[in-house]
Amino acid sequence: AQSVAQPEDQVNVAEGNPLTVKCTYSVSGNPYLFWYVQYPNRGLQFLLKYITGDNLVKGSYGFEAEFNKSQTSFHLKKPSALVSDSALYFCAVRSSGGSYIPTFGRGTSLIVHP
Amino acid sequence: KAGVTQTPRYLIKTRGQQVTLSCSPISGHRSVSWYQQTPGQGLQFLFEYFSETQRNKGNFPGRFSGRQFSNSRSEMNVSTLELGDSALYLCASSFGASGLSTDTQYFGPGTRLTVL
């Protein structure tokens, strides 16, 4: 069975500082990894995905994520946080084998302080 | 290009009633998936439709059903509502058929269902 863990329910960071939101996964076959962001009373917005190739993936709004196969991780990063980045972030995994259905993490609330 | 739209945005129902939610995918997208989001359970997959056929189904009771029309629009129905059905119901569309795990899903704003 595939699974996603987002070990931190909440991440606090000061505006202008770098941020990291952690995600680890377990899947059979090759992992396809996604990050989404959810603002209050809104649906999920796609940020970026890793399918194959370069381990560093760049996405929307200055976010990037690094795929680490040995550590089965796909952490989301941004060099300089903005207050407007405050939101709920979800990591998701799908597999090249097994179930097509994506599995989402429980979400991490990012709070950027002015 | 317009995004995924869901109607209505908010619904209040009482136990025992039934409800129908609607989702219009992004133009050209043929796959529609439904999710239930609750604070306790997070995001849980309900089902996925492609070309009017249900391709995948999550672990939900038969009270939850859906369908897809020839224009790719989808509806989800919940019968005999229970208090625990209160949730944000999200619809997501993608271009390809199920099995294309590399496809990105694009989500609508959701329908907030409250069961009293």
Lowest mean pLDDT among A9-23, A42-56, A96-110, B92-106: B92-106
pLDDT tens for residues A17-64? 999 999 999 988 889 999 999 998 788 999 999 988 899 999 999 999
d(CA A94, CA A78): 24
C-alpha radius of gyration, chain A, whole number? 14
| Residue B9 pLDDT class (50, 70, 90 cuts) | very high
pLDDT at residue A70, as a whole number = 95
Distant-in-sequence, close-in-space partners of B47: CB < 8 Å, separation ≥ 6 = B33, B34, B54, B56, B57, B58, B60, B64, B66
pLDDT at residue B2, as a whole number = 81
pLDDT at residue A35, as a whole number = 96
To probe the interface with A, which of B102, B103, B113, B114 has the most A CB atoms within 10 Å?
B102
Report the relative pairing of strands A10-14 and A108-113 from DSSP bridges. parallel
> String of b and e for B37-64 (b: at least 16 CB within 10 Å)?
beeeebbbbbbbbbeeeebbeeebeeeb
Distant-in-sequence, close-in-space partners of A4: CB < 8 Å, separation ≥ 6 = A23, A24, A25, A26, A91, A92, A93, A103, A104, A105
Please answer whether residues B46 and B56 qualify as being in contact, where contact means their C-beta atoms are separated by less than 8 angstroms. no
User: In the numeric block, which tokens belong to residue B18?
Assistant: 């039934």
Considering CB atoms only, which of B6, B101, B108 is closest to A32?
B101
Sort out which chain A residues have CB atoms less than 8 A from B4's CB and list them.
43
Considering CB atoms only, which of B45, B56, B110 is closest to A43?
B110
Question: Chain A: nearest CA to B46, how far in angstroms?
Answer: 10
User: In the numeric block, which tokens belong to residue B101?
Assistant: 């795990």
